[in-house]
Amino acid sequence: MATTVRIIGAPMDYGADRRGVDMGPSAIRYAEVADRLSDAGVTAVDDGDLSIPRAEERDPNTDEPIEGTAKFLREVEDVCTRLEERVAETLADGEFPLVLGGDHSVAIGSMRGSAREADLGAIWFDAHADLNTPATSPSGNVHGMPLAATLGRGAFGDLSWARAPRVREESIAYVGLRSIDERERELVRDSEMTAYTMADIDERGMTAVVEDALDVATDGTDGVHVSLDLDWVDPKTAPGVGTPVRGGVTYREAHAALETVSERHAAEEIVRSMDVVEVNPILDEGNETATIAAELTASAFGNRIL
Ligand SMILES: NC(=[NH2+])NCCC[C@H](N)C(=O)O
Ligand SMILES: [Mn+2]
Ligand SMILES: [Mn+2]
């Protein structure tokens, strides 16, 4: 990818149950994400972090006037509104926004910002569907809801999210699903989204699946958002995540996926924005998960063995 990559840290953990993902941006920087991008031949500029008050100083205010539960909803909205602005500005400057989370609710901000001036498709690399609404969520954690919020589904009170941006369900493809809540299953089945599960990857191989996912996300859109949740990778390989699910993608499959994205981008300039989320350094072993996050990011930007 030829353009300058602007790194935007979003050290937010309001959307997750377990403390620690707020340290994700530091850990991924420590794993030399900027140098790895330079090695891949792209210019990376670090914009620093959004300022985010610590969760202890806040009240989870679960008594929101909404149906169901969404903890720290106001706080998540505040951060995502600021992130949306930063992402939109970055794109307006002709640069590429790379958002480092933080829990997966940061994707609400990245996607809304990326979709402001474009019809946006997305590839969601994740063990989870993240399509819960406050009414269906078993946990009340907003990191299980970012796709619902971005699509304007569910009762998010009077939040700006209710006004859906230019993201259509049929332009979203999941890759690697393996943990879906009971009520969420119906939401995914009844949606227009395309879902490639781990079984699809077993059967067809990662490269073929990602090629198809790219077809879905580029069809009728102006560009693609890549959302990379590190719990997509098998927890034996990437243990530093708050909601690990066994049976995930291997180290090589993960690289193959991001390499496939970058090949298509090299030919067609399709990727507009990306976020790398859910790295939890407290649960990690020797910063391994953050290192994999940084490596996969470099693969997405064209880093190759030869
Ligand atoms: N981005 C994530 N790690 N999401 C995990 C979501 C887990 C579960 N589905 C929930 O709603 O609570
Ligand atoms: Mn997720
Ligand atoms: Mn996940």
Over residues 187-243, the pLDDT tens digits come to 999 999 999 999 999 999 999 999 999 999 999 999 999 999 999 999 999 999 999
In a domain, 305, yes or no: no
Q: Tokens 């393996």: give the residue.
A: 178
213 lies in a domain? yes
pLDDT attached to residue 162: 64
Residue 61 lies in a domain: yes
Q: Are 231 and 244 in contact (CB under 8 A)?
A: yes
Distance from Cα 143 to the centre of ligand 3, integer Å: 8
**Alpha helices, DSSP H only, in the chain?**
24-30, 33-39, 73-92, 106-114, 146-150, 182-190, 198-204, 206-218, 251-268, 288-300
CB atoms within 10 A of CB 78: 17
What the block records as the tokens of 80 is: 């995502």
Token digits of residue 161: 């999210």
Which atom of ligand 1 is found nearest the CA of 243?
A: 3
Catalytic residue among 49, 64, 84, 104: 104
Q: In whole angstroms, what is the distance from residue 176 CA to residue 202 CA?
A: 10
pLDDT tens digits, residue range 258-302? 999 999 999 999 999 999 999 999 999 999 999 999 999 999 999
Given its phi and psi angles, is residue 228 left (phi above 0), alpha (psi -120 to 50 degrees) or beta? beta
CATH code of the domain containing 175 = 3.40.800.10
Atom of ligand 1 at shortest distance to CA of 229?
1
- What pLDDT is recorded for position 17? 83
* Nearest-atom index, ligand 1, CA of 181: 9
Q: Is the pTM here over 0.95, yes or no?
A: yes
Looking at the 3D structure of the chain, how many domains does it have? 1
Query: Which residue's CA is the nearest one to ligand 1's atom 10?
Result: 144
The arithmetic mean of pLDDT across residues 8-16, rounded, is 96
Q: 163 lies in a domain? A: yes
Q: Which of 71, 72, 130, 275 to mutate to test the pocket of ligand 1 (most atoms within 8 A of CB)?
A: 130
Give domain status of residue 104, yes or no.
Answer: yes
Q: Which of 128, 179, 188 should be mutated for ligand 1, with most atoms under 8 A from CB?
A: 128
Task: Give the model's pLDDT for residue 2.
Answer: 57
Q: Residue 112's domain spans which residues?
A: 4-300
Q: How far is the CA of 204 from the centre of ligand 3 (A)?
A: 22
Residue 126: active-site member: yes
Confidence at residue 166, expressed as pLDDT on a 0 to 100 scale? 87
Question: How far is it, in rounded angstroms, from Cα 223 to Cα 269?
Answer: 8
Q: How crowded is residue 12: how many other Cβ atoms within 10 Å of its Cβ?
A: 32
With contact defined as beta carbons under 8 Å apart, do 120 and 222 qualify? yes
Buried b (16+ CB within 10 A) or exposed e, 27-64: bbbebbbbebbeebebebebbebbebeebeeeebeeeb
- Its sign, for the CA torsion 280, 181, 225, 72, is negative
**CA 261 – ligand 3 centroid, Å:** 20
- Beta carbons of 204 and 257 less than 8 angstroms apart: no
In this prediction, residue 64 carries a pLDDT of 62
**Ligand 1 atom 6: the closest Cα is on which residue?**
144
- Mutation to probe ligand 1, out of 69, 99, 188, 243 (largest number of atoms < 8 A from CB): 243
Tell me, yes or no, whether 240 lies in a domain.
yes
Active site residue 128: yes
| Nearest CA owner, ligand 1 atom 4 | 144
Asked whether residue 306 is assigned to any structural domain, the reply reads no
Compute the distance from residue 119 Cα to the ligand 2 centre, in Å.
Answer: 22
Residue of the CA atom closest to atom 11 of ligand 1: 144
- Annotated catalytic, 200? no
- List the catalytic residue out of 84, 278, 284, 295: 278
